[in-house]
Chains A and B, each alone.
Chain A
Amino acid sequence: MPDLIIDGRPVTVDKGVSVIEAAERAGVMIPRFCWHKSLGAAGACRLCAVMFVEGPVKGLEMSCMTPAADGMVVETGHPKAVAFRRQIIELLMANHPHDCPVCDEGGHCLLQDETISGGHSLRRFPGRKRTYQDQNLGPFIQHEMNRCIHCYRCARFYQDYCGYRDFGPMQNANRVYFGRFEDGPLDNPFAGNLADLCPTGTLTDKPGRFVARRWDCQRAPSVCLHCSLGCNVTALSRYRRVARIEARDNAAINGAFICDRGRYGFGYQSAQERPRAPLAAGRPATPEEALRAAAGLLAAAAKRHGPDAVAVVGGQRSTMETQAALIALARAAGWRAPAFFAAAREQAQARQALYALTPPRARSLADLAKADAVLVVGVSPLADAPMLTLTLRQAARAGAAIFLADPRPLALPLDHVHLPLAPRQLAAVLAVAAAGEDASGLIQQKFPLAPELWPRLEALAQAMAKAKRPALAYAPALAASLPGDDRVGLFPVLAQAGTAGAALLAPTDAPGLDELAAELAAGRIKAVIAVETDLFAAAPALAARLDALEALVVLDHLPTPTVAAAQVFLPTATLFETGGTLAASDGRLQRAEPVQAPGLSVLADGAGDHPPRDYARPLPGTDPAPAAFWCDRLGRALSLELPRHPLAEALAAHPVLADLDPVTLPAEGQRPTYPGREPATPESPPAQPAAEGLAVVMETPFFGGDELSRYAPLTADKTGPAVALLHPDDAAGLNLADGATVALDCGDAPATAAVRLHPGVARGVVVVPRLPRFDALPPNLGPCGLRRRETP
């Protein structure tokens, strides 16, 4: 534990920590360009030079390249160090344009800060500035190479940290060019971080460029809703419109980075199609009218058919506040408990997946990066939890063995072993992983038909047995098969951002959506209230029978088909407008703050008139309110007794979450003490009994696959083609060639798709993207479920 003194402040750090990092802990910010806490030291910019007065190193040295050592006395403000740094800035500014006012980074620029604070103001170098031609790097990142100061942050992030190769440094000397061999969109699905990383305006956020100056934006800490990981983001809003999303540091979860799905999926907030006005009987109405209409319809249905005739459907993209308010409303009204999951079994599995996170076993994403063997089961990292990919890569870079058992083909930028296995075989992989070093007998018994996978499975068993810090990332469907060994860390990956909250809060006897669909078919359900969920996606069987309902009340902020079918609609506010509590997939509760008031952006206001606003009338588009607020109002309209703070009361009464206060959650979130296996949980039945035909596995497209980014203009058109992926052997059995058009049996109208053959698909499985047209596919396609169609 080296003790050193930096600018008179004593500080003790761990061995191996660099001086620049030690200084940060002592509260001294040493200027830097190339050093970044997630990328480490490069020694390229030479700006972090400080004077070592005493200790093993003497003289002017780079603080990023020098590990802290006992007895060091460091002066950051030594005249020689200051003079050296000023000269480095002069050298960098010799070629950097002097046009900060027209640069999107201006005012938010590390080079600008260092230049001004470094005292370089007058140019004395007589030479000309070098110029480059920029490239089109796709829709998200803008390239302005003239502004580059060659800190190599982008290249180190892109190639070393993320493992993608299409962008990087070219040429040498002062000709070094950071770009691609030719123009084109960046391959890296984490490329948006380049805008955060770049210390100048060389790589900026294209959608947010010149939309608003950073200092003009309202900023608020928020949490990403586009998958279950709960990455921390900062939302920036200007004129009541979210202008951009930046990564927010959370050492335990996302570190300093986020994925592009989370960064560019925010547009649903200000989309023109966003429903903002309440509807009653399908017509625009005032909020009061809509509330009265909803209360009337629901009360009438309950009165005529009994309270059990009212079904409540909750969403997995809602905050816990919304989910708790809905549960409280349903309970107070005596309706059926809210259904959040497709099946009651799924709800039990999700809860079990979380309850297994006892303190010795729970792992955060950051812990996962330090594991030395990781098995990922039933999760396709890039599709289900993008930032998990980067975490696995960091683990792999540190030497960890990475195994992924999943039926979908994987294209991951890291060394890994893929076990393409059908969903029903995944539980057996867990058994193999827990079997110890000599598992060959078990492997041959469990996988008699896949001898080509035996060597990989044996390697898995050995790696997990030998590892000191093994970890397991798993889909909730496998929660019942988790090994009991406390040595193995656990990290569940759930479906959506609100899944964990729903699993924790929903009553254990809550029905599944399949059950509601059956009850509706049997005529025992006459009214449905759906909150922030699209029934057509979450419960196609239920959505198919909406005609049979007497009342459909919908609360949402997305223009879903369910909203279009609603008799009464109440517009809800987005997370950017309400804030709220969310449970991440690692069981941690986090708080997102609202960044702006609801209301139409001034850019949309006035419909092109100038001046745009009539100052006498109220702010347009302010009808959306938090879903929890609508639930409360609905309860009042029904004369129900509702708790004042549904979430606080739900947590207080909760067996696990009782110690948490949603208002005072710490910045890095708080994980309650999970009890392990829930005693009351019944043993889940096997997830998918062996069945004839092909098992259908959904793969979420990186963009536009989750419900929110499907309605975000930036990402909606980037879902990719509708293809059905098959193993070549299966395709040969079905007499299908690559590129053939097939019809997939999904209820009334078959969905067409082009067949693609991929050896990375498990046998007996068809992989289709999670697109609306495939929502109604059954879990198994029977012998006639997949038919060739002659192309017209």
Chain B
Amino acid sequence: MQVDIPQVLFKNRHLGRPATIDEYMAGGGYEALRATIGQRTPAEVLQLVLDADLRGRGGAGFPAGRKWQGIPADHVGTRYVVINTDEMEPGTFKDRVLVNVDPHLVIEGIILCAYAVGACEGVFFIRPSYEGDAKLIEQETQVARERGYLGKNILGTEFCFDVHVHRSAGRYICGEASAQIKAISGLRPNPRKGGPRTSVRGLWDCPTIVNNLETLANLPGIVRNGPAWFKSLARSESGSGTKLYSVSGMVARPGCYELPIGVTIRDIIFTHAGGMPPGKTFKTVIPGGASTPYLPETLLDLEMDFDPMKKAGQRFGTASLMVFDKDTCLVGATLSLMEFFARESCGWCTPCREGIPYVRELLRRIEGGEGTEEHIGMLQEMLPVLDLAYCAFAPGAAEPLRGLLTHFMDEVRAHITEKRCPFGNPPPHVRGKACGTRPPQFGPTPCPEDQCPI
């Protein structure tokens, strides 16, 4: 790792274990909180965040300050902060690393957000496979509580705020803000569309701010060092701050890297992640998590930032780069993603519930060498259908497919003409398998794999 890259969120990563509260405070931890609570008004904190142009790190990139402004000023009563650590996007693992590096950085960020929006309660929504991290946060919030940073009358002021951990049942759709609120409320996590935003009517019908964990972890730095410092961290014109990049796939050093916003994709893969492993040639990369399209090699010098990526027809997403080499079958890779999306749909609208399994079935046939030219047309026709789904889930699922059909059509055709996977992949399960654990509603026919609950 190069030393000239400022490490803000990963300042304590060198410890190789979660930093304790004392280690965190030795590096200036909780200074921002002390300088804020009772010293600044919530509006001043909000202004700092607005000036810093902090954008959501969960994928959509919505400015955090503007989200907070959405709370009706005249609302009297409870407000909530929900910390979104669902992180179920394939290829994304930054939140897990961050929690394990510096839990108190996260906790301080949460408290600052709560102070800025006037929340009295926070819900730390975490996916069940992060059980160790959930325990860590529970343990460290207790430490913070004992030091007087959480709970009643924080730092002796009127400000009261506490946070508790809510373990998700483990569904990708629960990462969507409105679905997450429903999940916490014990309802079916179908996203809500139309009607007031969650910042107006969220958890238990009260204004609720749902922010990604990484977004909140940036707050201590912004409050302590000011918006100008935060903006100066970025390399691109429009960006601000640093970003945690999850790099996986065919690279020499996969991992999570804190790099400035605006660094180029080529830089990330070939400088920081060590380039391709010996003997491997770069083919393509999914730059922002599973719901972004494949990026052709020609766009490798794109700056990783919300606006430049959007301009190039790409998505910054969660900045999770999945790198593929020339020996990897992209039909198989897309199929693998479709298996995920088909399994994780909430089942509300037709394009998502029926359309993604439809696409998956066709990809299985193509990958297994049973595809026909007609199937390509059917896949292409399905793209606009997926785009017009109820929420952003199916349009996201359509992105890898679109990338495949746009940039790698030769590979798809090769499967059809050779009647097998040219990379030598074995045919995927087309018929499904009986596993014996199916719920009783699923009839006497063997449980197709797509309906298998395990």
**A interface residues, Cβ below 8 angstroms from B:** 43-47, 49, 60, 62, 65, 84, 87-88, 91-92, 94-95, 124-128, 130-133, 135, 145, 149-150, 152, 169-177, 179
A32 → B minimal CB distance (Å): 12
From B385, B390, B441, B453, give the contact of A91 (CB < 8 A). Answer: B385
Q: Which residues of B contact A44 (CB under 8 A)?
A: 348-350, 390
> How would residues 429 to 454 of chain B score, 1 for a CB under 8 Å from any chain A CB and 0 otherwise?
00000000001111111001011010
Please determine whether A91 and B355 come into contact, CB atoms closer than 8 angstroms.
yes
Partner of A130 from the list B343, B362, B451 (CB cut-off 8 Å) is B451
A169 pairs with B349, CB closer than 8 A: no
- Lowest 6 CB-CB distances: which A-B pairs, in order? A176-B347, A91-B354, A127-B361, A173-B345, A131-B443, A133-B443
Q: List 5 A-B contacts (CB under 8 A).
A: A43-B194, A44-B348, A131-B445, A172-B346, A179-B441
B357, CB-defined interface residue at 8 Å: yes
Residues of B within 8 A of A176 (CB): 347, 353
Contact A92 B350 (CB under 8 A): yes
Report the Cα distance A725→B245, complex, angstroms.
68
* CA of A150 to CA of B349, assembled, Å: 8
Q: Which residues of B pack against A, CB within 8 Å?
A: 171, 173, 188, 193-194, 342-351, 353-355, 357-358, 361-362, 365, 374-375, 378, 381-382, 384-385, 388-390, 439-445, 448, 450-451, 453
A130 to B445: give the CA distance in the assembly, Å. Answer: 9
| Inter-chain contacts of A133 with B (CB < 8 A) | 440-444
Q: Nearest-CB distance from A498 to chain B (Å)?
A: 45
Partner of A45, one of B345, B349, B382: B349
A173, B353: Cβ atoms under 8 Å? Answer: yes
On chain B, the residues within 8 Å of A92 by CB distance are 350, 354
**Chain A residue contacts of B448, Cβ below 8 A:** 128, 130
Question: A695–B151 Cα gap in the complex (Å)?
Answer: 56
Task: Give which listed residue, A62, A132, A174, contacts B441 with CB less than 8 A.
Answer: A132
- Please give me the residue from chain B that is nearest to A177 by CB atom: B441
A60, A91, A128: most-surrounded residue (chain B CB, <10 A): A91
State in angstroms the CA–CA spacing of A191 and B33 once bound together: 56
A152 CB to nearest chain B CB (Å): 7
Given contacts A60-B388, A127-B358, A133-B441, contact A169 B188 (CB under 8 A): yes
For the complex, what is the distance from the CA of A92 to the CA of B385, rounded to whole Å? 13
Report which residue of B362, B385, B453 has the largest number of chain A beta carbons within 10 angstroms of its beta carbon.
B385
A residues in contact with B442, CB < 8 Å: 131-133, 175
Residues in chain B near residue A62, CB distance under 8 A: 388
Alpha-carbon gap, A127 to B449, bound state (A): 13
Q: Look across to chain B and name the residue whose beta carbon is closest to the beta carbon of A46.
A: B350
Contact B388 A84 (CB under 8 A): yes
Report the minimum CB–CB distance from B393 to chain A (whole Å): 11
Choose one: B171, B362, B378, B385; the contact of A172 (CB below 8 Å).
B171
Within 8 Å CB of A49, what residues of B?
388
* Neighbouring A residues of B345 by C-beta, 8 Å: 172-174
Select one of A95, A126, A152, A169 contacting B365, CB under 8 A: A126
- A91-B358, A133-B442, A172-B171 known; A43-B193 Cβ under 8 A: yes
Q: Within the complex, what minimum Cβ distance (angstroms) separates B361 from chain A?
A: 4
Residues on A with C-beta less than 8 A from B389 are 46
Measured CA separation A94–B347 after assembly (Å): 15
A65 B194 Cβ-Cβ under 8 A: yes
Complex partner residue of B347 from A47, A127, A130, A150, CB under 8 angstroms: A150
B441 and A84 within 8 A (CB)? no
> Which of chain A's residues have a CB closer than 8 A to the CB of B361?
125-127
Q: A92-B354, A124-B374 are in contact. Are A172 and B441 (CB under 8 A)?
A: no
Residues in B with CB closer than 8 Å to A60 are 388
A126: chain B residues at CB < 8 Å are 361-362, 365, 375
**Nearest CB of chain A from residue B419's CB, rounded to whole Å:** 15
* Inter-chain contact B451/A43, CB cutoff 8 Å: no
| A173 in contact with B344 (CB, 8 Å) | yes
* Chain A nearest Cβ from B237, distance in angstroms: 30
Contacts of B439 in A (CB 8 A): 171, 177
Which of B349, B443, B444 has the most chain A CB within a 10 Å cutoff? B349
Output the nearest chain A residue to B347 by Cβ-Cβ distance. Answer: A176
Which residues from B are CB-within-8-Å of A84?
384-385, 388
- Select from chain B the residue with minimum beta-carbon distance to A155: B188
Chain A residues whose CB sits within 8 angstroms of the CB of B357 once the complex forms: 127, 173-174
Q: Which residue of B lies closest to A91 (CB)?
A: B354
Which listed residue (B188, B193, B381, B440) contacts A87, Cβ 8 A?
B381
Known A46-B390, A92-B354; contact A173-B445, beta-carbon cutoff 8 A: no
Enumerate chain A residues within 8 angstroms of B349, measured Cβ to Cβ: 43-46
User: Which of A62, A87, A149, A169 has the largest count of B CB atoms less than 10 A from its CB?
Assistant: A87
Determine the distance from Cα of A688 to Cα of B98 in the docked complex, in whole angstroms: 75
Taking CB atoms, residues of chain B closer than 8 Å to A128 are 448
Please report the C-alpha to C-alpha distance between residue A135 and residue B440 in the assembled complex, in whole angstroms.
Answer: 10
User: Which residues on B sit within 8 Å (CB–CB) of A45?
Assistant: 349-350
| Chain B residue with the shortest CB-CB distance to A62 | B388
- CA of A84 to CA of B389, assembled, Å: 11
CB-CB under 8 A from B351, the residues of chain A are: 46, 88, 91
Q: Which residues of B contact A174 (CB under 8 A)?
A: 342, 345, 347, 353-354, 357, 450-451
C-alpha gap A682/B209 in the complex (Å): 64
Chain A contacts for B353, CB-based, 8 A: 150, 173-174, 176
Q: Within 8 Å CB of A172, what residues of B? A: 171, 173, 344-347
Q: In the complex where A127-B361, A150-B353 touch, is A171 in contact with B347 (Cβ < 8 A)?
A: yes
Bound form: Cα–Cα A92–B171 in Å: 24
A88 touches B378 (CB 8 A): no
Contact A173-B193, Cβ < 8 Å, known A46-B390, A130-B451:
no
Question: For A65, A88, A145, which residue has the most chain B Cβ atoms within 10 angstroms?
Answer: A88
Docked Cα-Cα span, A152 to B385, in Å, equals 20
Q: Are B343 and A43 neighbours in the complex by a CB distance under 8 Å?
A: no
Inter-subunit contact A173/B443 (CB<8 Å): no
Question: Which single member of A94, A132, A173, A179 contacts B346 (CB below 8 Å)?
Answer: A173
Is the beta-carbon distance between B451 and A150 smaller than 8 angstroms? no
How far is it, in angstroms, between the C-alpha of A493 and the C-alpha of B444 when the chains are bound?
50
Which residue from chain B places its CB closest to the CB of A146 in the assembled complex?
Answer: B443
Report if A46-B388 is in contact (Cβ < 8 Å); known contacts: A87-B381, A150-B353. yes
**Residue of chain B at shortest CB distance from A173:** B345
Query: Are A173 and B342 in contact, with the CB atoms below 8 A?
Result: yes
In the complex, what distance in Å separates the CA atom of A174 from the CA atom of B452? 11
What is the CB-to-nearest-CB distance from A673 to chain B, in angstroms, rounded to a whole number?
42
Give the one of B193, B347, B361, B448 with max A CB within 10 A: B347
Residues of A within 8 A of B450 (CB): 173-174
Q: With a CB–CB cut-off of 8 A, which chain A residues contact B188?
A: 169
Q: B354 to A94, Cβ gap below 8 A?
A: yes
State the CA gap A135–B345 with chains docked (Å).
24
Identity of the chain B residue whose Cβ is nearest the Cβ of A59 in the assembled complex: B388
The answer to whether B385 touches A87 (Cβ under 8 A) is yes
Q: Which residue of A lies closest to B430 (CB)?
A: A127
> How far is B361's CA from A127's CA once the two chains are assembled, in angstroms?
6
CB-defined contacts of A125 to chain B, threshold 8 Å = 358, 361, 378
Q: Knowing A91-B355, A92-B354, A174-B353 touch, does A169 contact B347 (C-beta < 8 A)? A: yes
Given contacts A125-B358, A131-B443, contact A88 B385 (CB under 8 A): yes
A44-B349, A172-B171 given as contacts; is B441 within 8 A of A65 (CB)? no
A536 to chain B, nearest CB (A): 48
- Measured CA separation A176–B353 after assembly (Å): 9
Task: Return A145 CB to nearest CB of chain B, in Å.
Answer: 7
A88 to B171, CA, bound (A): 25
Contact between A43 and B346, CB atoms less than 8 A apart: no
Asked whether A91 lies within 8 Å of B384 as measured between CB atoms, the reply is no
Q: How far is the CB of B374 from chain A (nearest CB, A)?
A: 7
Residues in chain B near residue A91, CB distance under 8 A: 350-351, 354-355, 358, 385
Rounded to whole angstroms, the CA-CA distance of A169 and B353 in the bound complex is 14
Given the known interface contacts A46-B351, A88-B351, A131-B442, the answer about A175 and B451 at a Cβ–Cβ threshold of 8 Å is: yes
- Distance to closest chain A CB from B416 (angstroms): 14
Q: Please indicate the chain B residues that have their CB under 8 angstroms from the CB of A170 in the complex.
A: 441
CB distance from A393 to the nearest CB of B (A): 18
